[in-house]
Amino acid sequence: MIVAVIGGKGGVGKTTVAYNLAAALEAVVVDADLGMADLPSAHGPDLHDVLAGRASPIEAVREETPVALLPCGRTLAGARATDPRKLVAAIEAVAAEYGRVVVDCPAGMGGDVGLALHAADACVLVTAPTEAALSDAVRARALARELDAGLVGIVLNRADGSVSRDLVARELGAPVTPIPPSQSLERAQRDGVPVTQVAPESTVAERLRSVANAVQSSLNSL
């Protein structure tokens, strides 16, 4: 199982959703943002090393972190040394070894997003209740459709009631799960752990688990 988490616009909480979705699915989360990594860093080889041929995908996975993680390097030199064409094979190798992978894709519509979508069995789209974020989400949805990456759900992050959940579902063509602003989620982010560890009974934790269940059910039906 390979699930890509996409978001047309940066700053909508895509990485947070990817990290917590991986926790709920007991998956390895891959930080595939080669130029602007945002998941926790870790000692040892990273995705830059893998795509530069200096390490294998499996040896770069960190199992000792709260969520198993294939981190990405944070240097410009490291990014320049990579061969992004190796990304699909790297993701597939991790999936073959661990069974489940969640890919935190870069923001925007670049080619590296397309590569991750090409590898994915399904994708989850993260957006926010702003005009700019929703406009970018429409374009991200079109890219996923073009690459035949089945959109199984939309996360409307920081949902404050200003945008209709039903309207977003109609515009983007998939079920919408609203995630309200949450101090528990902010605390989990600061601590680098899933929200299920900080507040397992919270609304946010429950809704993120529901997204994971929807992903699992969708892929089970294939």
Predicted confidence at residue 47, as pLDDT, reads 95
Domain count, the chain: 1
Predicted confidence at residue 115, as pLDDT, reads 84
Among the residue ranges 22-26, 94-98, 166-170, the one predicted with the least confidence is 166-170
Of 27, 13, 14, 16, the C-alpha closest to 198 is 16
Count of residues for the chain? 222
Taking residues 192-216, what's their average pLDDT? 92
Averaged confidence pLDDT in the chain: 89
Taking residues 198-217, what's their average pLDDT? 92
Q: CATH number for the domain including 182?
A: 3.40.50.300
pTM: 0.92
Q: What is the pLDDT of residues 100-120, one digit of tens each?
A: 999 999 877 666 678 888 889
Question: Could you tell me the residue range of the domain that residue 128 belongs to?
Answer: 2-220
Q: What is the pLDDT of residues 131-162, one digit of tens each?
A: 888 888 888 888 888 888 888 999 999 998 88
Is 172 strand, coil or helix? helix
Rounded-to-integer distance, Cα 29 and Cα 40, Å: 11
Q: What is the pLDDT of residues 27-79, one digit of tens each?
A: 999 999 888 778 877 788 999 999 999 999 999 999 999 999 999 988 888 88
Sequence-ordered list of residues with C-beta below 8 angstroms from that of 215, at least 6 positions apart, any chain: 3, 21, 25, 122, 124, 152, 153
